[in-house]
Amino acid sequence: MNAGTTLDSGKPLAESVAGGLSHPAPGLVLGSQYLRSVSFQTPQTPGVFASLQAPPHVRLVVDVNARQLSETDLNFEVTLVLRAEGQAAVPDAAAPEPPVAYEAMAAYAGLFVVGPQWRDRLEEILLIEAPRQLFPAARAVLLGLVREAGFQVANIQPVDFVALWHARRREATQG
């Protein structure tokens, strides 16, 4: 999308996402949120159901991506990607990579408008605050997939997006 792009409503994107505001958004405004993509694999079906002795141990990988939708406006799509691997046992020294019961992925996104007063802190706003707003719905989608596939659902605790952002910045400066 480039400057002047409109949504189906015919309104400029900034107006549509910000709920029709004629002035800049006051901070971070979430317009639409939606499921971008989803996948689920059970590599050893149906035998995995007979061989599991306990609920799968869940290894969760979280990633956040943001892209600006136009060069002139502070309109962004932020995508929160949750990847879960259900392992047949808790990894330990004897079995650092236990057999995989399932692999699930949900990419959940939202359209955000950032107020101009936050222009100098876009990275923090988009990679901490925006995914914090998307997380509850993304988690529900991921856990729903696991449940519908026939596995016991583990509770996924909220993600510390501040720590994730700091880790990402450390990796960028070291690499």
Residue 130, phi then psi, degrees to nearest 5:
-65, -50
Domain boundaries, the chain: 13-174
Beta strands in the chain, from DSSP E residues, in sequence order: 28-41, 57-68, 75-87, 100-114
Structure token pair of residue 133: 């707003």
Asked whether the whole model's pTM tops 0.85, one would answer: no
DSSP string for 121-168: GHHHIIIIIHHHHHHHHHHHHHHHHHHHTTPPPPPPPPP-HHHHHHHH
CATH topology of domain 13-174: Bacterial Protein-export protein SecB (3.10.420)
Quick check: 1 pLDDT over 80? no
The predicted-structure confidence for 11-55, as pLDDT tens digits, reads as follows: 443 443 434 333 433 589 999 999 999 999 999 889 888 888 888
pLDDT of residue 27: 85
Determine the angle formed by the axes of helices 161-174 and 130-148, rounding to 10 degrees.
Answer: 100
